Amino acid sequence: MNGKFQQKTHLRRQTASIQDVRPREIHAVDADRPALRSAILQMMPRFAKKRHQPAFISQFRKYSKQIGGLLCTGILTVLCSSSVFSETLEDAWAIAIRENNQLKASQQMTAAAAAGTSAARSARMPRITNATAYAVLSDEPSVDINFGQSLNGIAQANPSLGPVLGALPTSYSAPVMDQDTLVSTTQAILPLFTGGKIMSQIQQADARAEAARQGERKDLLDLKMDVAENYVLVLRMNRIMQILQETQQELKIHVQNTEKLVQQGIITENVFLAAQVSKAEIDQQIFQAQQGLDLSKSAYNRYLARPLESEVLLESIAVPPLSGPLEEQTASALENRPELRELAAQAAESMAKKTEFRSERLPSMTFAGGYTYLENEALSENNYASAAVCMVWTPFDGGVSRAKQRAADHQTAAVNRMRDEARSGIELQVRQCWLHEREARGRLEVARKSVAQAKHNLEIVRSQFQRGIAPHTDYLQAVSLKTQADVNFCTALCDAILASFQLKRAVGTI
């Protein structure tokens, strides 16, 4: 390119520049920083010109107050915006724990298991029952009494009584109960000995309750992990949208500049067309990123039981500190993971079932005391009290109870095998997450350096292109490298954050 092009492009250097994007953490509120930085920089030349004058100190104090006011205003703006409109990950966890339907279902299952425990313990208490019946019979029950033989014997022994005894009836029908009658019985039943059946049922209920509690804790950890993943995904897609929009603005200015240069006949039309194609490609990527951002917000709202279209404004997340040694993480996982405790509770339930099945061959004794009311005119007394000790014993049941015991033994062995397998899987999961965390941290540092290098490369190529030294393809490639470096850094940053959360989930301490 000739000197005329260098002179004109040099005058347009300010027009072709874009906002500098520094490698940083993911932020939700960052709108006031450019204005604040610009206001401060505009004041600095005044101090540079008057730093040797006597009135410099008084003016410095005056401007220091103005700068302090701007700083306070900017800080308060960021803090107020953050507190009013955005939510933290802890806020999201609290809302999800309070509103998520899956977790509520797990809590109801835990409450049901706890109620089952109370029911099993109540079996040791006395039971009071009442049975009342009102019956109407087709005929009045009676008893026929025959006096014929007795009267004949008396007449033979005392002939003088024969005429008198002959006038008496030889049979009599006596009613036993009324044709309609009322019977009511109230009993108190207390188990004395059940061969360990009640105790084994209590142990089974306690084991089921413990398994339900551990299942609820597992669902809680899964929910917090899902919320964290979607929280980070929203921040990631939001940051990618910002990166693409910054690149879009860069290429928009480049298209405008190349169009003017083509109209002036300084460059050929293919440079302008290449700039348009590059900008169109970024426009397509923005449409795709916008769809991904909307979907990530909808998924995030779903876990918080909100309408899918609700607005989502989130606070930034700093990269957590690096975890400790692998041996400590593995030991903590084997101690804290609810899956292992849930399987241990299931094994305890199977062992308690074996005791219950054995009790079916042992005698059981029960005390019963009661009161019975029998409405019957034929009886001289209608109220009766009773007390009884009952024993039921089935010494031989055809081998049914022993077969149930063997089934319980096999079930216990199966659950123990499952727990051993889960233990090995947890150790592998912790190791994978621990290594992934280290890998993500290494990628983050590489990506951070790559952003600085891509930024510096773009500045050099932009300057060379404006002076007519570098071709337009180098400039477009530099813009693409800068965009890709920013996206890679954003991805590495999110992966580093998620890797720490995934390790905490594997350990069971998220």
Cβ neighbours around 501 below 10 Å, total: 22
pLDDT of residue 165: 66
Q: pLDDT band at 296, cuts 50/70/90?
A: very high
- Give the residue with greater pLDDT, 471 vs 163: 471
Q: What is the DSSP letter of 192?
A: E
Give tens-digit pLDDT for 71-118.
Answer: 333 333 333 333 446 899 999 999 999 999 999 999 999 999 999 999
Residue 49: pLDDT over 60: no
pLDDT, mean of residues 415-437: 97
- Cβ atoms of 350 and 415 within 8 Å: the answer is yes
**Percent of the chain scoring above 90 in pLDDT:** 67
Residue the block writes with tokens 């951070």: 448
Please state, in angstroms and as integers, the Cα–Cα distance from residue 399 to each residue in 97, 100, 352, 405, 475, following that order. 50, 49, 19, 10, 87
- pLDDT tens, position by position, 341-397: 999 999 999 999 999 999 999 999 999 999 999 888 777 788 999 999 999 999 999
Give me the sign of the Cα torsion angle 92, 93, 99, 101: positive
Distance of CA 110 to the CA centre of its chain: 15
- Angle of helix 400-466 relative to helix 338-359, nearest 10 degrees, comes to 170
Residue 388 vs residue 31, higher pLDDT: 388
Mean pLDDT for the stretch of residues 290-304: 96
| pLDDT reading at 229 higher than 90 | yes
- What does pLDDT average to over the chain? 83
249-278: per-residue pLDDT in tens?
999 999 999 999 899 888 889 999 999 999
* Residue scoring higher pLDDT (426 or 58): 426
Amino acid at 107: Q
Count of beta carbons in the 10 Å neighbourhood of residue 480:
17
Superfamily of domain 1-26+221-510: Outer membrane efflux proteins (OEP) (1.20.1600.10)
- Report which of residues 149 and 354 the model is more confident about: 354
Query: Taking 80 as the threshold, does the pLDDT of residue 406 lie above it?
Result: yes
**Is 491 within 8 Å of 318 (Cβ atoms)?**
no
Backbone angles phi, psi at 20, to 5 degrees: -75, 130
pLDDT at position 37? 42
For tokens 């939700």, the residue is: 28
CB-based contact 241:286 (threshold 8 Å): yes
CA distance 97 to 303: 9
CB-CB contact of 173 with 142 (8 Å): yes
Handedness of CA 206, 212, 213, 218 (dihedral sign): positive
Model confidence at 509: pLDDT above 80: yes
Confidence (pLDDT) at 147: 67
Query: Where is mean pLDDT largest: 265-269, 309-313, 464-468?
Result: 309-313
Name, of 31-40, 52-61, 75-84, 380-389, the range with top average pLDDT.
Answer: 380-389
Nearest CA to 32 out of 88, 84, 70, 86 is that of 70
Is the pLDDT at 302 greater than 70? The verdict is yes
pLDDT tens digit sequence for 319-338? 999 999 999 999 999 999 99
| pTM score, whole prediction | 0.74
Give pLDDT, residue 351: 95
Q: What count of other Cβ atoms lies within 10 Å of the Cβ of residue 282?
A: 20
Whether the Cβ atoms of residue 346 and residue 339 lie closer than 8 Å to each other: no
Per-residue pLDDT, 274: 93
Identify the residue with better confidence: 296 or 26: 296
- Look at residue 151 in the predicted model and tell me its pLDDT: 67
What is the pLDDT, as a whole number, of residue 309? 93
What is the spatial distance between Cα 300 and Cα 315, in angstroms, rounded to a whole number? 14
Which region among 76-90, 117-131, 207-221 has the lowest average model confidence (pLDDT)?
A: 76-90
pLDDT for the residue numbered 167: 67
Q: Is the pLDDT of residue 2 over 70?
A: no
Could you tell me which residue, 117 or 180, shows the higher pLDDT? 117
Portion of the chain with pLDDT greater than 70, in percent: 80
In terms of DSSP H, where are the helices of 100-147? 101-122
Q: What pLDDT shows up at residue 224? A: 97
Q: How far does CA 485 lie from the centroid of its chain?
A: 34
